[in-house]
């Protein structure tokens, strides 16, 4: 038995040494790495307990368990006990993560994290089965099919939600304001994320929606800005919509911020490892030449979304509107392992240009908009009598009347369908108007 315990302990220490070294280099088998690992104080008494537990499970558990399974679960336990975002990715999970950052993967289209042992929805991704089914940011998933989520862990829960396109999964969800769990049946699909969309809200006033930060998102935003400029000749203002955007690639957040900044710090990170100390600065040009910019955020805006909102807020380049963001201010690094698996490890915290940490706090909008829905009131819109109601009134020959009425009708429709965007557009138009008047008085 002593020989067996010694072998298990050495194997376990080997795993620990590899993961520590892998934070710094892809191949850790160097003299420096080994010396540094050996210089760490090894808690032999604690490892002895671990080995004893390993042996007791092997000997007394009701069913046989392989050494590989036990060691993998030990690794999962180490990571899951650190924070909600660190985890062990087996080969399949690692592949799924890589697919997600490039924009195509199979599943439901939902970003989740762990909270009190349950899955919490950070945000559903645009145009995916989860969003179409009605899943909302802040929902707590308590059951998948007939399996309770409590105690399963993030990686295993995500694996359960993955599956072949067209297959069904049942989901039980707790939602604030609801007395009992909500039940959903969702068909899995191949998720192809178009992370950037754009349009004109009104002539001269553009809108760009980013649903997820992928490796190519920065370039895509630049292309969409240029398309808007080419269509109308110029932009009088722009709304950047980051609502329910759960984040993604750090580099993409930096690139998007840089699109609207010409100088200064965008974000910096601090961690224990030397290579976790990073700083990113803006470079010219501002693609919309200083035109008014509004950023929409809400409780589903997390991580990379908060980097963009925080940078543009601190640099006084944009007005942030909406509701308090999610508050994920940590950076996860993917550390490939020799067995085609990987560690997703929290290695740093990130800070806005002014030195604010967003961790567990989020971005506070400059202008808060409550979560409301508007509907058209029954009956006449006004009891007031206007000149146009009087018998025999003179007609107005202004040719702009019809255009004005159409614009008002479109505004009412926008207010009913998306009140937050409606408010953002009104502020954007006001900012442009004041800017134009100031320029004309110079």
**Residues designated as active site:** 303, 314, 328
Alpha-carbon distance of 158 to 102, in angstroms, equals 18
Helix 91-102 vs helix 154-161: crossing angle, to nearest 10: 70
Looking from the CA of 416 toward its CB, the CA atoms found within 13 Å total: 9
Contact present, 332 and 276 (Cβ < 8 Å): no
Which residues contact residue 410 at a Cβ distance below 8 angstroms, ignoring those fewer than 6 apart? 202
Q: Which of 230, 222, 224 is nearest to 207 (CA)?
A: 224
Neighbours of 79 (CB within 10 A): 21
Residues paired with residue 334 on neighbouring β-strands, in sequence order: 344
Secondary structure (DSSP) of 310-325: HHHHHTT--EEEES--
Q: DSSP readout, 356-408?
A: -B-TTT-PPPSEE-------PPSS-S-----GGGSTTPPPP--THHHHHHHHH
How far is residue 162's CA from residue 172's CA, in Å, rounded to a whole number?
A: 16
């Amino acid at each position: 038995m002593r020989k067996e315990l010694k072998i298990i302990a050495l194997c376990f220490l080997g795993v620990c040494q590899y993961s520590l070294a892998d934070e710094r280099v892809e191949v850790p088998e160097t003299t420096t790495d080994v010396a540094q690992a050996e210089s760490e104080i090894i808690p032999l008494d604690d490892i002895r307990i671990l080995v004893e537990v390993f042996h007791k499970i092997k000997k007394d558990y009701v069913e046989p368990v392989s050494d590989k399974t036990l060691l993998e679960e030990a690794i999962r336990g180490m990571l899951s006990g650190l924070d909600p975002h660190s985890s062990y990715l087996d080969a399949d999970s690692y592949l799924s993560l890589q697919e997600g950052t490039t924009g195509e993967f199979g599943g439901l289209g939902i970003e989740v994290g762990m909270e009190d042992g349950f899955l919490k929805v950070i945000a559903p991704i645009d145009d995916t089965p989860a969003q179409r089914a009605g899943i909302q940011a802040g929902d707590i998933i308590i059951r998948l099919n007939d399996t309770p989520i409590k105690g399963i862990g993030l990686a295993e829960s995500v694996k359960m939600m993955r599956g072949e396109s067209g297959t069904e999964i049942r989901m039980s969800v707790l939602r604030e304001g609801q007395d009992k769990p909500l039940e959903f049946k969702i068909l899995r699909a191949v998720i192809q994320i178009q992370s950037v969309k754009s349009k004109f809200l009104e002539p001269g006033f553009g809108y760009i929606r980013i649903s997820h930060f992928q490796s190519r998102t920065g370039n895509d935003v630049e292309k969409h800005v240029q398309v808007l400029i080419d269509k109308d000749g110029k932009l009088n203002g722009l709304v950047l919509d980051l609502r329910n955007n759960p984040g993604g690639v750090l580099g993409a957040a930096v690139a998007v911020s840089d699109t609207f900044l010409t100088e200064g710090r965008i974000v910096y990170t601090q961690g224990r490892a030397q290579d976790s100390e990073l700083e990113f600065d803006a470079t010219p040009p501002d693609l919309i030449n200083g035109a008014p910019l509004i950023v929409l955020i809400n409780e589903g805006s997390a991580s990379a979304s908060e980097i963009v909102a925080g940078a543009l807020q601190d640099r006084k380049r944009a007005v942030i509107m909406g509701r308090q963001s999610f508050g994920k201010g940590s950076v996860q690094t993917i550390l490939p392992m020799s067995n085609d698996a990987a560690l997703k490890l929290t290695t740093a915290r990130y800070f806005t240009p002014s030195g604010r940490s967003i961790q567990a706090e989020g971005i506070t909008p400059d202008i808060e908009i409550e979560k409301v829905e508007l509907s058209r009131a029954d009956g006449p819109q006004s009891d007031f009598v206007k000149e146009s109601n009087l018998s025999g009134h003179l007609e107005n020959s202004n040719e702009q009347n019809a255009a004005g009425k159409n614009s008002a009708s479109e505004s009412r429709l926008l207010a009913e369908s998306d009140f937050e965007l409606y408010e953002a557009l009104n502020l954007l138009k006001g900012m442009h108007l004041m800017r134009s008047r100031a320029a004309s008085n110079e």
